[in-house]
Amino acid sequence: MKTEIESKQLLSRYGIATTNPMLATSAKAATDAVRRLGKACALKVVSPDIVHKVDAGGVRLSVQAEQAADAYQAIMDACRHSHPDAAIDGVLIEEMVPPGLEVFIGAQVDRDYGVVVLVGPGGSGVEQRAKPKAALAPLDKELALSLVDAAFPDKFAENAAGRETLARYLMAVAGPEGLMMREAVDELDINPVIVSGEIAIAVDAVAGEASEAQPAAPRSEKDIAEALARRRARLGGLGAIFDPKAIAFVGASTSKDKLGFQLIQTLVDFGFTGKIYPVHPTAQEIYGLKAYPSVADIPGEVDRAYVAVANKLVPQILAQCQDKGIKVAQVLTAGFSEYSSDSSDLERQMCDQLASGTMRMIGPNCIGTFSSNTRMAIGAPRYNPTEPGGITFFSQSGTYAGDVVRRAQVWGLPVARALSCGNCADLDMLDLLLFAEADPHTTIVAFYIESMRDPGLFFRAARAMSKPVVILRGGLTEQGQVAASSHTAALATDRVLWDAGLAQSGVIQVGSMDDLMDTLLGLTVHGRSQGNRLALFGSGGGVSVTSSDVAARAGLKIPRLQNVTADGLHRFGIPGTSVANPIDIPVWGLRDGDRYIFEEIINLLKVDGNIDRTVVFVEMGWVLDFIESDIEGLKTLEAICASIARARPDGAPMSLALRSSGDKYQDDFVREQRIKLMKQGISVYPTTSRAVRAQSRLVKG
């Protein structure tokens, strides 16, 4: 740990203004120092063992020369009492800084995220203040400014110079040429920086020196690029995940109720395009396929394996697969690190086995793979889509992997690939992200994640991708904060850094399976685009009000329409309607004779310069209430949807909420229209709230 004097000298070399402290080792030296400075001073204990100086009694403020000796002695007495074993170097003397906004700036080299920087309200008790905003380094000027704005949303409206100074300090700490990139420092705590006008002065600072015993995390852009290049270099055979030419199934079973039989059956019944080699010690045939006693006995080349044997046998089976030249083995067997510490040792044995060759492993503790290209089924073939698509889904939950595939078929979503990846003991989420980035069959990447190695590299890789990335994360809870060596370490929690990674990378995070599917639908139909200004149009004032509330919580604005749009809407304004945004017009007011004219209003919204996206809603229950039968009512709903589909395809992306009462007729109608209108560039949802939230996730930051 550097002393405060050494830490401030370091900051000064990088252009951060500091006080000019002097070290006093006696009461007389303290008095002389204050007298020499000729103004009121701050006195602070200097000790590598005392981080929270105020709590330790180690700070006195506004001390004059005649008070300095007593202040010095009071600090020494208090700190020896509060920290009897601490090594105390003396007391720091420095001039008092005029009051201003107190800011905390911290940085550290995190084991999982690499270099991170934090900024937020500073001063005494910083841990109890508002959570700081964090970012993954290196920063650029735009990101530095956005961090200042996020941490202090209203503080710099009339102090642009102070805002620029703070952003410059953040760049000095964690920009491409910042001190965290160039110095042997693993932690930095500046608290507070006092900002007054354009002047910002670091009053207190401590830098932690990097330990040679700890492995170096990637710091610079070059380090990060090299780390990702090393990962990509090991992905050469991963085409066999979804497009294998031949599969060996080790642990095949002759019993129809066993997984080792059922997965072979689904491969055959779904029409797998390659060869299947069941491996069984005694069986001659399984589900019409010739069986082999071992992997070595398979006569042809094999590039993919399923492994479903007892966990203690897995390492030796992997060795056999390596000898056979298999590129990817998927270990379905459970009972490894998720089960017990003894089984964790077994998982390490598996990974050690893989280290000796080029074969890669999916799992363990997973369920299977879906690929429409090569007809690999996950679950019953009848629930697996057969059309090629662009969505690839990786899931640490086998249940969710199957769920996305089944829902995709019902929704008509182009999910072409899904992988249950379990514990990710070898191939992890970063590997799979990099694979999807290079995969020509993938246009949208989605994940269900419970844990992740190297999240910092994951988010940095995702930021550089042109393909949208969506994460459904399980187990997202705030980790308890343990006693830390500095404010930075205490504040840089997993949640804070994870949220920083999301914000910088543009990765979309969702909280439920419904949200995931809604987002995948929106991305498929509309993609991502700039702008958070929303138009709402439908029948029902209450729905408009609550949907506006949902929009506000999701970060969308309901703006005033342009005058030309308002003029065009004027003819629809009759008693009981609203032609301002949100637009509320009864269904019977949207007919011209026997023809519905929803598209006329939608077309006005599509070209309104104040609107970036539109949600149209239809209350199906109200429509059906005024028609003699459900069958006739559905014909009316068909006509309404046809009117909406006639709207111009360009302009603001549009979602349609067909608000269902939940009966079979209405729910089936929603499913049918979702598939039909997707081809017209319209995404269909069963509630207005879901449509609004889905549109909010499509906003490109």
H/E stretch holding 109 reads strand 101-110
Check whether residue 457 and residue 538 sit in a common domain: no
Strand, helix or coil for residue 304: strand
**Domain limit, last residue, from 159, 192, 219:** 219
Residue 105 lies in a domain: yes
674-695 core/surface letters (b: 16 or more CB in 10 A; e: else): bebbbebebbbbbbbbbbbbbb
Rounded to a whole number of angstroms, the distance between the first and last alpha carbons of the chain is: 39
- Selection from 46, 110, 207 nearest residue 500 by Cα: 110
Check whether residue 407 and residue 262 sit in a common domain: yes
Q: Is the dihedral of CA 308, 313, 319, 320 positive or negative?
A: negative
**Using CA atoms, how far apart are residues 620 and 684, in angstroms rounded to an integer?**
13
Check whether residue 307 and residue 424 sit in a common domain: yes
- The pLDDT score that the predictor gives to residue 355 is 87
- The pLDDT score that the predictor gives to residue 484 is 36
CATH, residue 557: 3.40.50.261
- The pLDDT score that the predictor gives to residue 83 is 96
Strand, helix or coil for residue 397: coil
- The pLDDT score that the predictor gives to residue 571 is 85
Q: How far is residue 526 from each of residues 186, 469, 533, 552, 649, measured CA to CA in Å?
A: 43, 15, 16, 21, 11
Residue 472 lies in a domain: yes
- The pLDDT score that the predictor gives to residue 576 is 63
CB 485 within 8 A of CB 51: yes
**Token digits for 239?**
């085409």
**Using CA atoms, how far apart are residues 451 and 612, in angstroms rounded to an integer?**
36
Residue 144 lies in a domain: yes
Phi and psi of 516, rounded to 5°? -60, -50
**Token digits for 68?**
């300095």
Which range marks the domain in which residue 691 is found?
A: 528-697
- The pLDDT score that the predictor gives to residue 351 is 86
- Selection from 485, 483, 484 nearest residue 49 by Cα: 485
DSSP symbol at 625: H
DSSP symbol at 14: T
CATH, residue 289: 3.40.50.720
- The pLDDT score that the predictor gives to residue 480 is 33
**Using CA atoms, how far apart are residues 461 and 375, in angstroms rounded to an integer?**
30
**Mean pLDDT of the residues in the chain:** 92
Check whether residue 245 and residue 267 sit in a common domain: yes
Check whether residue 48 and residue 139 sit in a common domain: no
Task: Quick: pLDDT tens for 98-130.
Answer: 999 999 999 999 989 999 999 999 987 666 667
- The pLDDT score that the predictor gives to residue 128 is 61
- The pLDDT score that the predictor gives to residue 338 is 65
Q: How far is residue 166 from each of residues 8, 229, 276, measured CA to CA in Å?
A: 16, 34, 62
- Pairing type for strands 90-95 and 41-46 reads antiparallel
- The pLDDT score that the predictor gives to residue 25 is 96
**Domain limit, last residue, from 61, 95, 129:** 95
Residue 605 lies in a domain: yes
**Domain limit, last residue, from 219, 247, 266:** 219
CB 394 within 8 A of CB 450: no
Check whether residue 546 and residue 650 sit in a common domain: yes
Check whether residue 89 and residue 170 sit in a common domain: no
Residue 500 lies in a domain: no
Residue 647 lies in a domain: yes
Phi and psi of 394, rounded to 5°? -110, 130
Question: Which stretches of the chain score pLDDT less than 50?
Answer: 477-486
Check whether residue 86 and residue 180 sit in a common domain: no
- Selection from 13, 127, 1, 4 nearest residue 480 by Cα: 127
Check whether residue 263 and residue 380 sit in a common domain: yes
Task: Quick: pLDDT tens for 543-560.
Answer: 999 999 999 999 999 999
Check whether residue 89 and residue 109 sit in a common domain: no
Beta bridge partners of residue 376, listed in sequence order: 371
Check whether residue 174 and residue 276 sit in a common domain: no
- The pLDDT score that the predictor gives to residue 295 is 97
As for how many domains the chain has, the answer is 4
**Using CA atoms, how far apart are residues 499 and 443, in angstroms rounded to an integer?**
24
Beta bridge partners of residue 654, listed in sequence order: 614, 682
**Using CA atoms, how far apart are residues 130 and 606, in angstroms rounded to an integer?**
40
Task: Indicate the residue type of 215.
Answer: P
CB 607 within 8 A of CB 561: no
Residue 307 lies in a domain: yes
- Helix, strand, coil content of the chain in percent (nearest 5): 40, 20, 40
CB 377 within 8 A of CB 266: yes
CATH, residue 199: 3.30.470.20
Q: How many residues does the chain have?
A: 701
**Using CA atoms, how far apart are residues 276 and 289, in angstroms rounded to an integer?**
7
Check whether residue 381 and residue 362 sit in a common domain: yes
Residue 305 lies in a domain: yes
H/E stretch holding 249 reads strand 246-250
